[in-house]
Amino acid sequence: MGACGACGLLLPGLARGQDQARGKALVDDTGYPLVEAKHYVRLDGKRVRCELCPRRCQVADLERGYCGVRENRGGTYYTLVHSRLCSMHTDPIEKKPFFHVVPGSQAFSVATVGCNMECKFCQNWEISQYRPEQVPARNVSPRACHGFAKTEAAPFIAFTYTEPVVFYEYMLDVARLSRQTGVRSVVVSNGYIEEKPLRELLPHLTAFKVDLKAFRNPFYQDLCAGRLQPVLSALQLIKKAGVWLEIVVLVLPTKNDSEAEIRDLARFVKRNLGPEVPVHFTRFHPTYRLQNLPPTPVSTLERCYDVAKGEGLYFVYMGNVPGHPGENTYCPRCNELLISRTGFTVRSNRISGNACPKCKTEIPGVWS
Ligand code: SF4
């Protein structure tokens, strides 16, 4: 399929120029379905308000919202990226990462361009911060997406790489087919989504991974152009809905790595989501607009790990440190090694049914 190993990008695109500010419509699309957006309201003067994510963009006629992939045409709001995939790749599910979802299985992973945040440390900025017209794409209907997953023998379709919230209509249409095809849907997201669309989506999902960027609102404002509180609300809603939830925290040196912040985060997870929700602390590598920071020291990740375990979380992981014992799953009761991993590779899986083989404690997750 000729794709980049990191994000499955089909072909390289052009950088977004200074003059191509968010909110300005560029050229009309051809060859892709123009699908009316969900979750918006019409305002006077042909304006609309998008109610998909907490930005709630008010968009004038022939303008686009912040994410650059939703456009107002004469007072009707459209998604420009339905079926317009810029990335398709089959990855180990550990790469998402999901560590408690059928270990060793494959996820057919898809994305369109666009994002509703702008993280200065984005690893996939070549597609998340671009316009549909700037990145080569392929027209893949929801049914064809399931067909690709079947061909790849992937039991999961993952919406990932960029921000699936901004291609919500496509994600929902694909996920709705899961019951028919048996290919289950999982989401990898920043969790920046309004309650109503999230409630509509959740019944069609098997698992949801949220990138919790930090546990301080100034970080969200300064480095992501977002807000923390809506993400915390989404986390609680996902957990309440019974969809399997994992959390990833990309640890940036000096930015979100203080012991107090990690402790607050762990306490929030334990109190509001439950100690069984896995939390992955992953290593940052300098990229995009944060090239001035060094990679996260492994000792910092180990401290995060210890703090979160000390606060009573059952499943804490370290990411982007292949070969570290922090990648493994241990029984929270007897500390038996259950799943051994190196990077995205599962070395051994000793979970028996859904329990520890030694003390028989049930291990939460989606194991089959
Ligand atoms: S999904 Fe896009 S258009 Fe809608 S509110 Fe969010 S950023 Fe704005």
Q: What is the pLDDT of residue 72?
A: 98
**What value, to the nearest 5°, has the Cα angle with vertex 294 and ends 289 and 295?**
100
The answer to whether residue 257 is domain-embedded is yes
DSSP 176: H
| End-of-domain residue from the set 24, 51, 79 | 79
* Lowest model confidence (mean pLDDT) among 16-25, 111-120, 190-199: 16-25
Cα–Cα dist 113/121, whole Å? 17
CATH classification at residue 97: 3.20.20.70
Indicate the top mutation candidate among 55, 63, 77 to test ligand 1's pocket, ranked by most ligand atoms within 8 A of CB: 55
Nearest CA residue ID for atom 6, ligand 1: 53
Cα–Cα dist 116/224, whole Å? 9
Nearest CA residue ID for atom 2, ligand 1: 67
Nearest CA residue ID for atom 3, ligand 1: 65
Counts for the chain of helices (H) and strands (E), in that order: 9, 19
Can you tell me which atom of ligand 1 is nearest the CA of 40?
Answer: 4
The total domain count for the chain is 2
Q: Is 111 in the same domain as 57?
A: no
Q: Is 39 in the same domain as 104?
A: no
Residue type, 316: V
Cα–Cα dist 81/130, whole Å? 12
> What is the percentage of the chain residues whose pLDDT exceeds 70?
92
Q: Is 103 in the same domain as 42?
A: no
The pLDDT tens digits for 93-130 are 999 999 999 999 999 999 999 999 999 999 999 999 99
The answer to whether residue 286 is domain-embedded is yes
Range of the domain at 194: 85-323
Q: What is the pLDDT of residue 31?
A: 82
Q: Residue 65 C-alpha to ligand 1 middle, in angstroms?
A: 5
- Inform me whether the pLDDT recorded for 266 exceeds 70: yes
The answer to whether residue 241 is domain-embedded is yes
- Inform me whether the pLDDT recorded for 28 exceeds 90: no
Q: Is 312 in the same domain as 221?
A: yes
* Ligand 1 first shell, C-beta below 6 A: 50, 52-53, 55-57, 65-67, 70, 116, 166
Taking the complete model, does pTM exceed 0.85, yes or no? Answer: yes
Cα–Cα dist 89/3, whole Å? 7
The answer to whether residue 220 is domain-embedded is yes
Q: What is the pLDDT of residue 26?
A: 38
State mean pLDDT over 43-63.
98
Q: Residue 54 C-alpha to ligand 1 middle, in angstroms?
A: 8
The pLDDT tens digits for 337-368 are 999 999 999 999 999 999 999 999 999 999 99
Kindly report the backbone phi and psi dihedral angles of residue 109, in degrees, each rounded to the nearest multiple of 5, phi listed first: -110, 130
Q: Is 75 in the same domain as 99?
A: no
Which of 326, 328, 336, 327 minimizes the C-alpha distance to 361? 336
Residue type, 56: R
Q: Residue 117 C-alpha to ligand 1 middle, in angstroms?
A: 9
The answer to whether residue 217 is domain-embedded is yes
The answer to whether residue 365 is domain-embedded is no
H, E, C per residue of 194-260? CHHHHHHHHHHCCEEEEECCCCCHHHHHHHHCCCHHHHHHHHHHHHHCCCEEEEEEEECCCCCCCHH
Q: Is 263 in the same domain as 170?
A: yes
Q: Is 195 in the same domain as 110?
A: yes
Q: Is 105 in the same domain as 63?
A: no
pLDDT, averaged across the chain: 93
Indicate the top mutation candidate among 39, 166, 190, 201 to test ligand 1's pocket, ranked by most ligand atoms within 8 A of CB: 166
Indicate the top mutation candidate among 52, 71, 171, 194 to test ligand 1's pocket, ranked by most ligand atoms within 8 A of CB: 52
Q: Is 49 in the same domain as 89?
A: no
Q: Residue 5 C-alpha to ligand 1 middle, in angstroms?
A: 28
The DSSP line for 53-105 is STT--EE-TTBB-TTSSEEEETTEEEES-TTEESEEEEEEGGGTT-SSBSTT-
Can you tell me which atom of ligand 1 is nearest the CA of 66?
Answer: 7
Q: Residue 66 C-alpha to ligand 1 middle, in angstroms?
A: 6
The answer to whether residue 230 is domain-embedded is yes
